[in-house]
Amino acid sequence: MKIIVAPDSFKSSMSAISAANAIERGIKKAGDFYNTNYDVIKVPMADGGEGTVDAVINSIGGRKIYTEVLDPLGRKINSFFGILGKETAIIEMAASSGLHLLSDKEKNPMETTTYGTGQLIKRALDEGCKHIIIGLGGSATNDGGVGMAQALGIKFLDNEGREIGFGGQNLKHIKSIDISGLDKRIDDVKITVASDVKNPLCGPQGASAVYGPQKGATPEMIKILDDNLKHLTEIIKKDLKKDIRNIPGAGAAGGLGAALIAFLDANIRSGIEIIMELSNFEQQVENCDVVITGEGSTDYQTMFGKVPYGVGQVAKKYNKPLICISGSLKEGYESLYDEGVTALFSISPGPISLKDSIERGDELLERVSENVMRIFFLRGDV
């Protein structure tokens, strides 16, 4: 009589933890009605974006470290990362360099920097961490990860031997890279990137062209930013003897993926796979009766490594029924039927505005969860 509840966050409405709690309340109402015995195991999920640290700590335990860093525009803010066990840190770059930290008027990838993410990495080193997991979702930046590298001691020098300024607009001024000042503690640390982005750094499928517009880039900016990232790859190839331009995932977070590979020898892995591994998710599913997941919007893009897809792969492996309850179901969601998802539901009770759906998200999710579980409890499937 074991039910696994493993949702992602519902963007702008609920964190993964809040969503799991709403689903649990719905299950309880159905269980109380039928006087059914059951156990709910909540395993909040994430794929490397905003909310990843909270989801992991809530699932497996750990603690948060709070520290002051620079935001995407170089302003001081309070940020955080997680410590798991004694020597593993989990960082979501969105906590320091994320789009949600800026107003619509402030979004400008020509100026934004990943410097704050580098500061979080440095603070994790201060804590003695030997393995650092970095989630790359929700970026406001397009600086090729140069800001992150600057915070760790790497110098990007112009023709006059001066360090370049922040932002994607300044990459064109780089003439040489001096890595002699890189924090030596990095040599003893394993860096794992949690990201499902497969885009290369440059070109029509690159960081600037695909993700630049949502960060405030105009068509003119996109051309400049892409050219500047190409220039960065040329300097890296010249000075570090590494060719990163076409590596899948290098374009994640405005090129932060490329920098983590080039400067910190990072390994890129699927975000949802990392989270499931940390939470021992597969073993829990093997011993359960039904799984419930969900996200803000489910469509064809969910197939590219988002939470319901990842959960579906595990449910499929162990032949467990999987229910996906999302804020909305859009074009292509049916493809998940072949990927381990038994049935999909929207929380919308009928015609409803996006604003109402967001504001009432937990109530609506609870209601649909109750209805779904009434069917299971009535049939005696769990």
pLDDT in tens, 85-138: 989 999 999 999 999 999 999 999 999 999 999 999 999 999 999 999 999 989
- Nearest residue to 315 via CA among 333, 345, 292: 292
**Res. 329: pLDDT tops 80:** yes
pTM of the model: 0.91
Q: In what order do the strands lie in the sheet containing 88-92?
A: 63-70, 76-84, 88-92, 131-135, 190-194, 267-269
Gyration radius from the chain CA atoms: 22
The pLDDT score that the predictor gives to residue 380 is 65
Cβ–Cβ < 8 Å for 149, 263 = yes
**Res. 218: pLDDT tops 70:** yes
H-run or E-run covering 310: helix 307-317
- Nearest residue to 170 via CA among 146, 201, 148, 199: 146
**Res. 379: pLDDT tops 80:** no
The pLDDT score that the predictor gives to residue 209 is 96
CATH of domain 2-47+272-379: 3.40.50.10350
The pLDDT score that the predictor gives to residue 277 is 93
Q: Rounded to whole angstroms, what are the CA distances from 85 to 22, 81, 238, 306?
A: 29, 13, 40, 26
**Type of residue at 313:** Q
The pLDDT score that the predictor gives to residue 353 is 87
**Res. 176: pLDDT tops 90:** yes
**Res. 367: pLDDT tops 70:** yes
More confident residue, 54 or 380: 54
| CA dist., res. 114 & res. 96, Å (int) | 8
The pLDDT score that the predictor gives to residue 82 is 97
Confidence category of residue 381, pLDDT binned at 50, 70, 90: low
**Res. 301: pLDDT tops 90:** no
The pLDDT score that the predictor gives to residue 305 is 84
Mean pLDDT within 305-322 = 95
| CA dist., res. 366 & res. 369, Å (int) | 5
Beta bridge partners of 226: none
The pLDDT score that the predictor gives to residue 197 is 86
**Res. 347: pLDDT tops 90:** yes
| CA dist., res. 135 & res. 39, Å (int) | 31
Q: Mind giving me the DSSP string for 59-106?
A: HH--EEEEEEEE-TTS-EEEEEEEEETTTEEEEETHHHHBGGGS-GGG
Confidence category of residue 12, pLDDT binned at 50, 70, 90: confident
In whole angstroms, what separates CA 253 from the centre of its chain?
10
**Res. 59: pLDDT tops 90:** no
Mean pLDDT within 186-215 = 95
Spans of all domains in the chain: 2-47+272-379, 52-269
By percentage, how much of the chain surpasses pLDDT 90?
87
Beta-sheet pairing, 297-298 with 322-326: unpaired
When the pLDDT of each residue in the chain is averaged and rounded to a whole number, the result is 95
The pLDDT score that the predictor gives to residue 243 is 94
**Res. 203: pLDDT tops 80:** yes
**Res. 249: pLDDT tops 60:** yes
For 184-196, b/e burial (b = at least 16 CB within 10 A) is: ebbeebebbbbbb
CATH class of domain segment(s) 52-269: alpha beta
| CA dist., res. 183 & res. 130, Å (int) | 14
More confident residue, 357 or 28: 28
Same fold, 2-47+272-379 and 52-269: no
